[in-house]
Amino acid sequence: MLSCGPGLTDCGGICRDLMVDGNNCGMCGTVCTSGEVCASGVCTLSCASGLTDCGGVCRDLMTDAMNCGACGTTCASGETCVSGTCTIVCGSGLTLCG
C-alpha cells in the first residue's frame, strides 16, 4: 500500500485528493459526470460564473423569481427578482410609491 501525505488517499497506487479529484470524488473510482466538478468530495454541477447550483440546475439568483437571492426563495405573484430581491412590478405608466 502506497503511503500518501495528509489529505491524500491511495487509489490504485496513485495518491489522490478525494475532496477535489473528479475521477475519485469522495472515494476511489467515483467519477463525476460531464459538467460536474468534485467539491468537498461530492460531484456537483459546475455552474458558470454568476450562476448558482440549485438542486442540480444552474440559476441566476439575481434575476430568477423562483430562486431570488437564494435557492428556493420564490417571489410572490406580481413580483419579479431584481438584484436578488423580490420587487413589486408596476404596470406600464405606473410608479411604485412607498
User: In this predicted model, what pLDDT tens digit does every residue of 22-43 receive, in sequence order?
Assistant: 999 999 999 998 888 888 899 9
- Same domain for 7 and 40: yes
- 8 belongs to a structural domain: yes
Answer yes or no: do 30 and 63 share one domain.
no
Tell me the whole-structure pTM to 2 decimals.
0.57
Number of domains in the chain: 2
Domain that holds residue 66: 50-90
Grid cell digits, residue 53 = 447550483
* Residue labelled with grid coordinates 411604485: 96
Tell me the per-residue pLDDT of 53-80, one tens digit each, with 9 for 90 and over: 887 678 999 999 999 999 999 999 989 9
Same domain, 33 and 9: yes
Same-domain pairing of 3 and 40:
yes
CA 68, CA 55: separation in Å to the nearest integer?
14
Residue 77: how many other CB atoms lie within 10 Å: 7
47 burial type by CB count under 10 A (0-12 exposed, 13-18 middle, 19+ buried): middle
Predicted confidence at residue 84, as pLDDT, reads 98
